[in-house]
Amino acid sequence: MDCVTGDPVWFDGDKETTSEAINCINEGLELIGTSPIKKDKISQKHYATAKIENISKAISENIFHYCCDVSDASVEENDGNHILQLLREEFNATIDHEEQMEILTIFKDWSFRKITHHFPSATFHMITVAKKTAREKGILADSSPKRHPSLTKDVIDLIINFYENDENSRLLPGKSDFVSVKVSNERVHMQKRLILTNLKELYQLFEEKYAEVKCSFSKFATLRPKYCVLAGVSGTHSVCVYAIHENVKSLIDGPNIKHLTADVPIPIKSYHDCLNRMICVQPTTDCYLGTCSTCPGATQLIDELENIFLCDSIDEITYRQLINVDRTTLQVMVSPVDEYLQKLKIGLEKLLLHSYLVKKQNEFMNIKKEKLTENECIVVCDFSENYAFVI
């Protein structure tokens, strides 16, 4: 058929030859599933053109297996079903939970019902986690939490020594103040040590001192030795730890000063920030003893807090305090702003001197330990407050 490249001209011979040729062609068209050529229409130009297109299409699809646009979609659908079937088989065959989660991330845009229809063993939790992982990390991402490298023995020893440092904890004096710990498969009595602050603040001190050491707070808390106990445990009553430090900390946490001062030039995140604003930039002993004439003191800080409370329309402050009447109890208190600020001012001034004395005492003790000779020893005595003072 030379008509493919020009105007449709079917046959250029006599009728008998033409009829035989059409019959021969129709036999071939039947094999490729195309309707036969109608002899009475072969003279029509549009019929010839349409018939040639149908024959070309049939040859492409049935002989060369070529698909048009509609067939392309059908093939893609079949391929998609085949891929889905392979994923289902892999999901059901594997016992690796992480691999199953990675497969589920591929279907992040599917509904829960559709996913459970194709993956019946997938739980609601698995699908939820897989969808979240796909949104945050992309498909085929690992859904397991980020694994941090384990700490070396040197770092672990450093943390334990930090807990045992006299600047951070002190030995309890009682004969019964011990715990039994296992050391080298043997039980050993270890004297308890009272941690002088809470774990959050102790962790902050550790980060400041050893900034190059990477250790999360949870791991830091886990490594706390069994014999390093927190204030509040039976036999650890300490007015120093409780009343002075904790009451000031509770006064700051009560109105959430950290949040209220987040946008000011010098925010207050803890009582340490308050103490630093009460003394000179390069403090001396006079600054801590309250005899320095150039220290800002607590007045300026209290005035700033008063203005913040006024701007936020805060009239009353709810906070907790340790009250010592016969026994120490933690009470919830509500005070007007003026009364609250006065308590905070007195507490900060008392804590400023106290924290300095404790720091110097610890430094003195450490120096004595470092310079201790063979014929010397250090004896630490703790006066029992069970006895009344008689003068």
Angle at CA of residue 66, ends 64 and 70, nearest 5°: 155
The phi, psi pair for 195, rounded to 5°, reads -70, 130
Q: Could you tell me what percent of the chain has a pLDDT over 70?
A: 82
* DSSP classification of residue 39: G
| Residue 370 binned pLDDT confidence (cut-offs 50, 70, 90) | confident
The candidate with the shortest Cα–Cα distance to 274, out of 258, 255, 254, is 258
**Token output for 45:** 């130009």
User: What is the maximum alpha-carbon separation in the chain?
Assistant: 147
Predicted local distance difference test score (pLDDT) of residue 13: 53
Is 314 a member of any domain? yes
Predicted local distance difference test score (pLDDT) of residue 148: 61
Structural domain containing residue 356: 264-370
The candidate with the shortest Cα–Cα distance to 164, out of 202, 215, 207, is 202
Cα(209)–Cα(287) distance, rounded to whole angstroms? 24
Residues 274, 348: one domain? yes
Look-up of token digits 């807090």? 305
If one compares 344 and 198, the residue with the highest pLDDT of the two is 344
Residues 351, 283: one domain? yes
Cα(206)–Cα(376) distance, rounded to whole angstroms? 31
Residues 103, 40: one domain? no
* DSSP classification of residue 37: P
Is 360 a member of any domain? yes
Predicted local distance difference test score (pLDDT) of residue 175: 82
| Residue 1 binned pLDDT confidence (cut-offs 50, 70, 90) | very low
Please determine, for residue 330, whether its predicted confidence score (pLDDT) is greater than 50. Answer: yes
Whether the CA torsion 285, 360, 381, 328 is positive or negative: it is positive
**Token output for 204:** 């902050």
Domain count, the chain: 4
Please say whether the beta carbons of 94 and 66 come within 8 A.
no
How does DSSP assign 218-283, residue by residue? HHHHHT--TTEEPBTBTT---HIIIIIIIHHHHHHHTTTHHHHTTTSSS---SHHHHHHHHS-SS-
Predicted local distance difference test score (pLDDT) of residue 37: 78
Considering 204, 229, 254, which residue would you say is the last residue of a domain?
Answer: 229
Please determine, for residue 75, whether its predicted confidence score (pLDDT) is greater than 60. Answer: no
Residues 116, 172: one domain? no
Please say whether the beta carbons of 197 and 167 come within 8 A.
no
Please say whether the beta carbons of 209 and 164 come within 8 A.
no
Question: pLDDT digits over 211-251, tens only?
Answer: 999 898 999 999 999 999 987 655 555 445 557 888 888 89
Predicted local distance difference test score (pLDDT) of residue 68: 45
Q: Give the rounded distance of the alpha carbon of 83 from its chain centre.
A: 35
Residues 273, 309: one domain? yes
Q: How large is the average pLDDT for residues 271-294?
A: 91
Please say whether the beta carbons of 165 and 154 come within 8 A.
no
Hey, which residues does 188 pair with through a beta bridge?
A: 181
Residues 273, 346: one domain? yes
Residues 199, 269: one domain? no
The candidate with the shortest Cα–Cα distance to 277, out of 255, 305, 256, is 305
Is 145 a member of any domain? no
Is 253 a member of any domain? no
Is 300 a member of any domain? yes
Residues 34, 73: one domain? no
Please say whether the beta carbons of 230 and 195 come within 8 A.
yes
Is 377 a member of any domain? no
Residues 281, 360: one domain? yes
Please determine, for residue 9, whether its predicted confidence score (pLDDT) is greater than 50. Answer: no
Q: At what angle do helices 337-370 and 299-311 cross, to 10 degrees?
A: 140
Considering 108, 137, 166, which residue would you say is the last residue of a domain?
Answer: 137
Residues 298, 362: one domain? yes
Is 366 a member of any domain? yes
Residues 220, 273: one domain? no
If one compares 151 and 385, the residue with the highest pLDDT of the two is 151
Q: How large is the average pLDDT for residues 86-113?
A: 89
Please determine, for residue 391, whether its predicted confidence score (pLDDT) is greater than 60. Answer: no
Residues 31, 74: one domain? no
Contacts of 169 (CB under 8 A, 6+ apart): 163, 193, 194, 195, 196, 228
Cα(208)–Cα(177) distance, rounded to whole angstroms? 31
CA distances from 12 to 19, 26, 43, 291 (A): 12, 18, 12, 125
Is 255 a member of any domain? no
Please say whether the beta carbons of 354 and 271 come within 8 A.
no
**Token output for 249:** 């900390």
Cα(90)–Cα(100) distance, rounded to whole angstroms? 8
